[in-house]
Amino acid sequence: MTITLADIQAAAGRLKGQAVETPLIESPALNARLGGRVFLKPETLQRAGAFKFRGAYNRLSQLTDEEKTRGVVAFSSGNHAQGVALAAKLLGLPALIVMPTDAPSVKVEATKGFGAEIRFYDRFTEDRVAIADQIAAERGCTVVPSYDDPHIIAGQGTLGIELVEQARAQGVELDRVLSPVGGGGLIAGTSTAVKGLSPSTEVWGAEPAGFDETRRSLESGQRETIDKDARSICDALLTPIPGDLTWPINSRTLSGVVAVTDAEVAEAMRYAFSVLKLVVEPGGCVALTAALTGKIDLKGKTAAIVLSGGNVDPGLFARILQGEL
C-alpha cells in the first residue's frame, strides 16, 4: 500500500487544532559545531511528549461510531502508548495498551494518567502482537499498530509537511532531513511528505547500534532482523524488523541510515540539555547523535533534525547527565 502526499495532507486537516505545530528552531552553537545551518524540530513539545500523537489521533479519529464503542488495543514501550491513550481520551473511547515490563515508569504513569488500561508483557520472551490480537478477538476492539498502518504513517508524515513549510517560511530549502528510525513509521511518513514537497531534499535515518535493522536492510536489499540478544537505552526504537508497510516506502525514499551507540546517544543527550536547553529521550536523540558524531555530515548543508520525543525516565536521565552512561 502506498502512502501519498494527499493522504498526509488529509491527516493534517484532521489534526488541525488537536496536534501542536511544533516549532522549527535554530541554535547558533549547533550551527558552529556542525559547520552548516541546522534546524531542530522538537517533537518533545508535542502532546504526550512525542510525535506519536499525530498518527494515533489520525487513526482513531477515523473509527466508526461502533468501533469507538468497542475501543482500541495498542502495543508500545511508551510513546505510542501515550499517543493512543490521549487520542482515545479526547475521542471518548476505551483503550488498552500492551506495554513491556521494562518500559520507563514515566511512560507507564503517563499512559495510565490518560485513562488507558495496561497489560504488561516480557519483550524478550512474549509476542506483543499476538497478545494484542488475542485481546482484540476477546473484546472486539480495534488493533492500532505503532507504525505498520497507513493512517498512522500518514499522521506521522504531517511532521514532514510542517518541517518543509516552516523552513521555507524562513527563506531556506533543506538539503537534508535527519530522523530517528524504529519501526519506520515516522521516517516513512516524513520522507513521503518531504519528497512530495521538496524532491531534491535527502532524508537520512539514525538507529541504535544493535537495532539497526533498517540500515542493514538497505545494504542487503531485503528486510533484516535484529540479534535477539541486542540491548539499548533507546527504548522507543527497539523494533525487531522493518515494517511490512514502512519498509517498501523507506527502501525507496531514504538516502541512508546510520547506527549510533548508547554512549554516543548519552553524550548527545547531555549536549541537548546543556547547550540546546532541551530534554530529549534516548530514542528521540539518535538523529542529533548522528549529526554530532559526524556519521551524517552536515558541513555546508542546510538541514533539519527531528527530536522525536522527550519522555525520558528521570532516574536514567540523572545518570546520563552525571556521566554514568
Catalytic pick among 16, 27, 52, 105: 52
Torsions phi, psi of 176, nearest 5?
-145, 145
Contacts with 281 (C-beta within 8 Å, 6 or more apart), sequence order? 44, 50, 235, 236, 269, 309, 310, 311, 312
Beta strands across the sheet bearing 256-260? 25-26, 37-42, 302-307, 176-180, 202-208, 256-260
Q: Which helix (DSSP H) or strand (DSSP E) does residue 142 occupy?
A: strand 142-144
Confirm whether 112 is a catalytic residue.
no
Catalytic pick among 146, 191, 217, 308: 308
CA distance 107 to 48: 9
Confirm whether 217 is a catalytic residue.
no
Pull the grid cell for residue 236: 522507543
CA distance 265 to 253: 25
Contacts with 23 (C-beta within 8 Å, 6 or more apart), sequence order? 41, 42, 45, 166
- Catalytic residue annotation: 52, 308
